[in-house]
Chains A and B, each alone.
Chain A
Amino acid sequence: MQSPTNFLKHKGWHQTAIIAIIGGIYVFASWILSFDNLAGFTAIPRAFAWLGVNFKPTSSSMEFLPKIWQKLIQTVLLAISSTVVASAISIFIALLGSKVTGINGTVQTIVRGIASFFRNIPLVAWSMILLFSFKQSDFTGFLALLLLSIGYLIRAFMEIIEDEASETMLALKATGASYFQVIFQAVLPQILPSILSWILYTIENNVRDATLVGILTGTGIGFIFDVYFKSFRYDAAGMTVLAIIIVVIALETISNQIRRVIL
């Protein structure tokens, strides 16, 4: 049998060179970061063995369940509401900024700039700045998720409008329909399914990100995990992780089902 390594020899110098470069980067990076590959990979089975022993929810950890559940629901609600508000804002900005429905070149460039600026400011920075002003409240988490989602959604919505609505826009303009008629009668109804699909994806993402925001700002499910984890109540922490897994997979399944119907 021809092994993959032998096969690659026939592929010429170019593929070998790419593999060599990537391998070189890998070795260089692990050397600079002093990442011990052997220790790292042997830690994986140990980590899972440890997880199996310590993270197993016991009967005594059942008493934490109501509190975990309440925080988790709160986090999901926060993720949903921040996404919905973000999408309401983003759709208007995207309409202003897309090449198809936009006003002019200057506005388009500004919108693109703003979107990528918001997208690239790290979530950590948002959380910490907001934490300073809004203290340890749900509002901090809500705003952090909102600001990050706006950056992602503006870009996504602009791409959707440019991909799907450019022909409709032309066709309706030719009939003499006014700008707002075109937007509300043709463009928005047409892009609605794709927009909904993106909203669902952002909700999933925000639930996961809410954990990080929670650890940093002391709200929601992230906070409760952090508290259990740092006070060595690992069975409760394990229960929290289990609850997160269930909710995230449930959300993923629901949105896949919705997507199958609407797209």
Chain B
Amino acid sequence: MINADEQIIQQPNPPKSPEIKLHENSLSRTMIVVVFASLVVITGYTLMHLDAAGIQLNTAFKELATNLQQMFLQPSAGTDGFMPLLQALAGSVLLSILTTIIGAVFGFFFAVLASKNLTNAYLGAGIRVVMAVVRAIPTIIWALIFSIICGLGTTAAVLGLSFHSVAYLTKAYSESIEGIDKSTIESLKVTGAKFWVVVFQAIWPTIIASFVSWTFIRLEINFANAIAVGAAAGAGGIGYQLFVASGMSFDFHETGLIVYLVIFVTFVLEFIAVKIRQMYLNR
């Protein structure tokens, strides 16, 4: 009897709540998962097959620790003396400044010609392709190539560093230029302004802040590259001293001092870059 009563009472059908999806399936999500998975697989494969050339990792790491201790805790000027090292450092800094100036001037010129909103499509595309190829070749290879024509030394280093700088800055600047509102350029063109007037009246003032940022980023890269070129292409400067100290005379105390000097310079460069950027952003 009781059972029958219970059957009479109708249970309300609870409304089905829509399932809450925590993660929306989208192309971008799948892409992220796929790319991450393949990167991890590649890494795993590579680490498995890494050619360690039969070295004892244990002793190698111990040796490394000793060397690092010599480098960072007991830096000294070694046989070269402090002043020659400072001179070499100044040489590398000047080299990086020189090549950054060349890169900025030519880079801006090419960027103006390569930007989609300023010039015709074919010229722009042509310049972009050439710059992509120039950028793809590492700085050190450019320096080695020029060293055959000009001989080992400053000229080859300057040309090698400049080539990569021009290509890099062309891309950076032209991306900034392409970010400019089209109406700014159009309104100047309507007044009958010539091409270079548009460039220097409308483009230049608009991008100057990002121009300065990119140029200083490149200055820091060029300083690192100047050291690399000095070491691997024998172009002189602090990079060459570093190469000799660490690879020929195995004086790790001197290597340590050189590394400290380099770190000091990069800190100073970063500091100047921040200050100048602030100056231009606040104007």
Q: Taking A244-B136, A252-B132 as contacts, is the C-beta distance between A80 and B60 under 8 angstroms? A: no
8 A Cβ contacts from A1-54 to B: 1-4, 7-8, 22, 25-26, 28-30, 32-36, 39-40, 43-44, 46-47, 50-51
Q: Report A-chain residues with C-beta under 8 Å of the C-beta of B137.
A: 241, 244-245
Taking CB atoms, residues of chain B closer than 8 Å to A233 are none
Cross-chain contact B246 with A34 (CB below 8 angstroms): no
A130 to B65, CA, bound (A): 10
Q: A124-B232, A139-B52 are in contact. Are A129 and B71 (CB under 8 A)?
A: yes
Binds B, one of A97-105, A160-168, A210-218: A210-218
Contact B27 A196 (CB under 8 A): no
Residues of B within 8 A of A249 (CB): 132-133, 136
Contacts of B228 in A (CB 8 A): 122-124, 212
The number of residues on chain B lying at the interface, defined by a beta carbon within 8 Å of a beta carbon of chain A, is 77
Q: Name the one of A39, A136, A263 contacting B53, with C-beta atoms under 8 angstroms.
A: A136
A81 & B53 in contact (Cβ 8 Å cutoff): no
Checking A40, A81, A262 against B43 with a beta-carbon cut-off of 8 angstroms, the contacting residue is: A81
Measured CA separation A84–B55 after assembly (Å): 24
Contact call A3/B196, Cβ cutoff below 8 A: yes
Query: Chain B residues near A199 (CB, 8 Å)?
Result: 39
Please report the C-alpha to C-alpha distance between residue A46 and residue B144 in the assembled complex, in whole angstroms. Answer: 14
Verify A77–B32 contact, CB threshold 8 A. no
- Please, which residues of chain B bring their CB within 8 A of the CB of A46? 149
Q: How far is A117 from B266 in the complex, measured between Cα atoms in Å?
A: 10
| Known contacts A29-B97, A129-B252, A245-B136: A81-B232 contact under CB 8 Å | no
Question: A residues within 8 A CB of B196?
Answer: 1-4, 7
Is B239 within 8 A of A122, CB to CB?
yes
**What residues on A are CB-neighbors of B98 within 8 Å?**
26, 29-30, 33, 35
Q: What residues of B have a CB within 8 angstroms of the CB of A116 in the complex?
A: 267
Residues of chain A within 8 A (CB-CB) of B197 are 2, 7
- B101 touching A132, Cβ below 8 Å: no
* B232 close to A258 (CB less than 8 A): no
> Considering the complex, which residues of chain A in the window 44-95 have a beta carbon less than 8 Å from any beta carbon of chain B?
44, 46-47, 50-51, 77-78, 80-81, 84-85
Does A248 reach chain B (CB closer than 8 Å)? yes
Chain B residue numbers with a CB within 8 Å of A156 are: none
The answer to whether B39 touches A122, judged by C-beta atoms less than 8 angstroms apart, is: no
Residue of B nearest to A44 (CB): B159
Q: Which residues of B contact A111 (CB under 8 A)?
A: none
Contact between chains at A138 and B144 (CB < 8 Å): no
Q: Does B200 contact A (CB under 8 A)?
A: yes
Contact A80 B64 (CB under 8 A): no
Across-interface contacts of B94 in A (CB, < 8 A): 28-29, 32-33
Looking at the assembled complex, report how far the CB atom of B43 sits from the nearest CB atom of chain A, in whole angstroms.
Answer: 4
Would you call A40 and B252 a contact (CB within 8 A)?
A: no
Interface centre among A36, A51, A137, A193 (most CB of B within 10 A): A137
Q: B35 touches which one: A196, A208, A263 (CB < 8 A)? A: A196
Give every chain B residue within 8 A of A3 (Cβ-Cβ). 196
B227 CB-CB contact with A under 8 Å: yes
B138-170 residues at the A interface, CB under 8 angstroms:
138-141, 144-146, 148-150, 154-155, 158-159
Interface residue? B282 (CB, 8 A): no
A129/B68 contact (C-beta < 8 A), A3-B196, A40-B150, A124-B231 known: yes
Which residues of the partner chain B approach A124 to less than 8 Å between Cβ atoms? Answer: 227-228, 231-232, 239, 242-243, 246
CB within 8 Å of B: which residues of A? 1-4, 7-8, 22, 25-26, 28-30, 32-36, 39-40, 43-44, 46-47, 50-51, 77-78, 80-81, 84-85, 116-117, 120-125, 128-139, 142, 192-193, 196, 199, 208-209, 211-212, 215-216, 222, 225, 229, 241, 244-245, 248-249, 252, 258, 261-263
B residues engaging A (CB < 8 A)? 27-28, 31-32, 35-36, 39-40, 42-43, 45-47, 50-53, 55, 57, 60-61, 63-64, 67-68, 71, 90-91, 94-95, 97-98, 101, 132-133, 135-141, 144-146, 148-150, 154-155, 158-159, 194, 196-197, 199-201, 224, 227-228, 231-232, 239, 242-243, 246-247, 250, 252, 255, 258-259, 262-263, 266-267
